[in-house]
Amino acid sequence: MNKDTIIQVSDLTKLYGETLAVDHINFEVAKGEVFGFLGPNGAGKTTTIRMLTGLSKPTDGKASILGFDINSQIAQIKKRIGVVPEISNLYDELTAFGNLLFMAQLYGVPSRERKKKAEELLKTFRLYERKDSLFRTFSRGMKRALTIAAALIHNPEILFLDEPTVGLDVVAARSLRNLISNLRQQGITIFLTTHYLEEADLLCDRVAILVEGRILAIDTPQALKAKTNKKSLEEAFMKITGLEPEVLAIEKGK
């Protein structure tokens, strides 16, 4: 294992009844990378994130994050990662500020630091003026931004983002991509899933292409385009997977 490896996955597998949701996948993520997991709906992206973040037990295989084993040392891992699920884990009836303070407490941020950290994140994410508004009054883009802010409250070294821009309009999606790029500048390692290939091309240092639980390719977007002799990552993806572009167009109603 390379000394810069921060996520190491070996033969990770998840079986749901007779569905092999994730089928013996192998990959490594280096510290500071933005690593993208690309695939159509049902490919196993969310299942992979859930296993890596301790929300679901692997059927087989193993993974380590920051040198800790996901099966036996998940408590140590949780302290040092942030997770942004596809459906927000924040509370509708709390204000933006209240949600951040609550998460800070949950993650064991010392009480004297909570307020300062929450205010700092609200400013970074341009939500400070709305800090006293209830979460439920926020637009989708603002909700997603605050959910990311909440995941950063304990200064995690790795951020997991499941489909960060699904359901957002073009402007909100762009602003979120900028935020993600800024996090990368700060040295945070980012693992994200998406079925928007253009987004992956803009954001990711390397991507893994996942179809039916299996990884078909892992490389930089540039290398995947060069190897397949295609101009866009979407075309490269179609060539590698043999899928039709429509499989990526299915928008989930959230």
Among positive and negative, which fits the CA dihedral 225, 228, 229, 233?
A: negative
- Nearer Cβ to ligand ADP, position 19 or 186? 19
Kind of pairing between the strands at 5-16 and 19-30: antiparallel
Positions touching Mg ion (CB under 5 A) are: 45-46
Nearest Cα neighbor of 135 from 77, 90, 71 is: 90
Q: Smallest distance, Å, CB 28 to Mg ion?
A: 22
Q: Calculate the alpha carbon distances from 104 to 94, 136, 147 in Å.
A: 14, 20, 13
| Sequence-separated (6 or more) residues with CB below 8 Å from residue 18 | none
Other C-beta atoms lying within 10 Å of the C-beta of residue 161? 27
Q: Is 45 one of the binding residues for ligand ADP (CB under 6 A)?
A: yes
Q: Quick one: which of 4, 16, 67, 220 contacts ligand ADP (CB under 6 A)? A: 16
* 161 binding partner (options Mg ion, ligand ADP, none; Cβ < 5 to 8 Å by kind): none
Q: Is 43 one of the binding residues for ligand ADP (CB under 6 A)?
A: yes
Q: Is 47 one of the binding residues for ligand ADP (CB under 6 A)?
A: yes
- Nearer Cβ to Mg ion, position 43 or 172? 43
Contact set for ligand ADP, span 204-233 (CB under 6 A): none
Q: Smallest distance, Å, CB 160 to ligand ADP?
A: 12
Q: Quick one: which of 12, 21, 100, 208 contacts ligand ADP (CB under 6 A)? A: 21
- Nearer Cβ to ligand ADP, position 52 or 149? 52
Q: Quick one: which of 41, 89, 220, 222 contacts ligand ADP (CB under 6 A)? A: 41
Q: Which residues bind ligand ADP (CB under 6 A)?
A: 16, 19, 21, 39, 41-47
